[in-house]
Amino acid sequence: MWRWLGKPIIVLDCFSRSLAKAGKHRTVIDNMTTTEWLRSKIGPAPHPAPPERASRSGNPGADFFTGYLRAEMRVLHAYCGDGSSTISLATFVPMGEVIGIDPDTSRLRRARGRSFVADTGEISFERSSLHDLPFGPDDFDAVLVNEAFSVEASPERALEEVKRVLVPGGLLGVRHTVASSRVLTGDAPLIERSLRRRDTVLRDIGGDPDAGLKQPSLLREAGFVNLRVTSSTEQKSDEDLLIELAVDGFVPMEQDAESGIEMDETPVVHSIVTAVETVCWKLT
């Protein structure tokens, strides 16, 4: 560590070696402070998730996050959906607890059913949005947020609630897909119409289908530190995507005079979409 005008700075190790070979002496990372200061605020410097552990859950909604968990942590999973990611989280905190929240009662019903069958650790589910969490200050060691800003207005307010319930130095993982990046591998007018309908509804209620693009800047502005941003691709079959859209009420049904109400097409394509994933920490 060197000093520049009396202030401590950090040398980026991967650059310092190459700079030394080039006969240069230093590189400065703006707006950063010493490793010791950061550790005093958020505890030991986190390490990247070991690949063999990070991939063990087999769930794209949680894989980027699970390698940072410790066995005794109390974890909140916001917008837990059908509970599949929540159940995978519980395997990483066998001496801790996982609570899943979602504002949709039908999703919570499916989540509770999944957890009953899985019988994995301490898992419970509650109905709540991120804007008014029914928990006290410093109540969780870690929080995972999946797709909340796609459907909720005022992500800034939601992040303030997340900060309130996180312990100092607490871990936050956030993952959002980017709807505009979606590619369909074939011609599927029904899926295309359903996706457009969903995106329109989300924007009408104040959500953002492209929330992943703004995710890192929102987290920085909210005061979270040491951001680690990655991306992944999420692929779903035509059947899985149509089921998801139909459950949420976005698949249009057309009336046929002879066969009653039925869908107008049976697509045979896949959907591929990019997701932005961020792991970060609460400073104080």
Angle between helices 189-204 and 238-247 (to 10 degrees): 40
pLDDT digits (tens, 9 = 90+) for 42-96: 444 444 444 443 434 457 788 999 999 999 999 999 999 888 889 889 989 999 9
pLDDT digits (tens, 9 = 90+) for 217-264: 999 999 999 999 999 998 888 888 888 888 778 886 553 333 333 444
This prediction has a pTM of 0.75
**What does the alpha-carbon distance between residue 168 and residue 104 come to, in Å, rounded to a whole number?**
30
Structure tokens at 44: 């030991």
Domain boundaries, the chain: 1-32, 33-281
Domain spanning 33-281: which superfamily? Vaccinia Virus protein VP39 (3.40.50.150)
Q: What are the backbone dihedrals phi and psi of residue 262, each rounded to the nearest 5 degrees, phi first? A: -155, 160
Most confident of 124-133, 183-192, 238-247: 124-133
Higher local confidence (pLDDT), 172 or 8: 172
